[in-house]
Amino acid sequence: MVGNGCNCKNQGLSMVGDLGDICSKYIYVANNNSNSIAVVDSDAQKVVKDIGLRYRPIALAVNPIVNAVYVVNQEGNSITVIDSTINEIVGSIKLGIVPNSITVDIVRNIVYVVNYGSHTVSLIDGYTNRIIAVLGTGARPDKIAINPLIDRVYISNLGDSTITVIDTRNKSVVTRIELPDIPRKIAVDCVNNLLYVIGRDSGLTILIDCNTNSILPFVWRLNAPMGMAVNQNTGRVYISDLTYWLRTKPSSVEVIDGNGLRESLNPWHWWHNSRSIYLEHGRNEEGYLLYASYELSIDARKNLIYVTVPADDKIFVIDGETEQVIGSIEGLHGPVAIAQCILGS
């Protein structure tokens, strides 16, 4: 995706024109088991090309401004650059130690890459592919999300249970938010200007007001949340709940209506406005369920939700309107991440 952020329409991008004309129809999937990127035709919902890599990909992002796809290589301490017009590798960029997540500020054409081992984030000029700044984060930075409506980037830090907040206008750290748990995943809701944080140990979903950087008095607990994404057109939040440890129940995608949460701040609001979409996935020889849903990505234009299932080597496709599984993308090899150009309607 264009990082973990908002749709292009909400960003007021008159300076870069109509991105709907330059965003490709392709979805890019990181195959962790085959050192490759699968290029998926979003209309046909099938793999049309595999791009071989030297290292196992862990994360990726699309930059529609320069027709680039960036692939994060932890083992090589680098990112691979793919030209999305021809779907070929055109270069690489050396980074800090153990890079593991990425997002793109398409307002300023700056790529942000989190370096877990260096406790930093690298800022890359999208036009030149050169590092223009390196900022300190908290200890062991992990995931990243962008809120272009208020010019902010958020980075979760596993080592000190904080969120680093960066001002994308002057490329500087403005504050650090202390959390009650180690953050596993983060996602921005541009519709309601909220940051969702999933706690690693507690399974709690923590709500942060992006205007004030304050934690709102609201939490919700899931069994084993793994991935999270927000539909920036509808305000619906999707969280993959990995229940493999139960070994008898399929994993699910929890659907929450984020609209109105700021006003009510009541867990019962979430409870009454949430649904579960169950995913049937593979079983081992003993009949126990395998590892299931992992990461999510949303095509807001088509209102489709993509859920990776590494153990089954496929991606489930969910209709956001009916909240039903309508198909799957096969021919993958341990899919762990998805990237696409996210545009609103």
pTM score, whole prediction: 0.89
Q: Please, what are the domains in the chain?
A: 9-339 (2.130.10.10)
Is 345's pLDDT higher than 50? Answer: no
Q: Do residues 147 and 210 touch, judged by C-beta distance below 8 A?
A: yes
Give CA–CA dist 224/36, Å, rounded: 28
Lowest mean pLDDT among 197-201, 259-263, 295-299: 259-263
pLDDT at res. 151: 96
pLDDT digits (tens, 9 = 90+) for 266-288: 555 555 567 777 776 555 555 55
Side by side, which strands form the sheet with 78-83? 57-63, 68-73, 78-83, 88-94
Q: What is the mean pLDDT of residues 243-266?
A: 65
Cβ(139)–Cβ(157) under 8 Å? Answer: yes
Q: What is the average per-residue pLDDT within 190-203?
A: 85
pLDDT tens sequence across 110-144 = 999 999 999 999 999 999 999 999 999 999 999 99
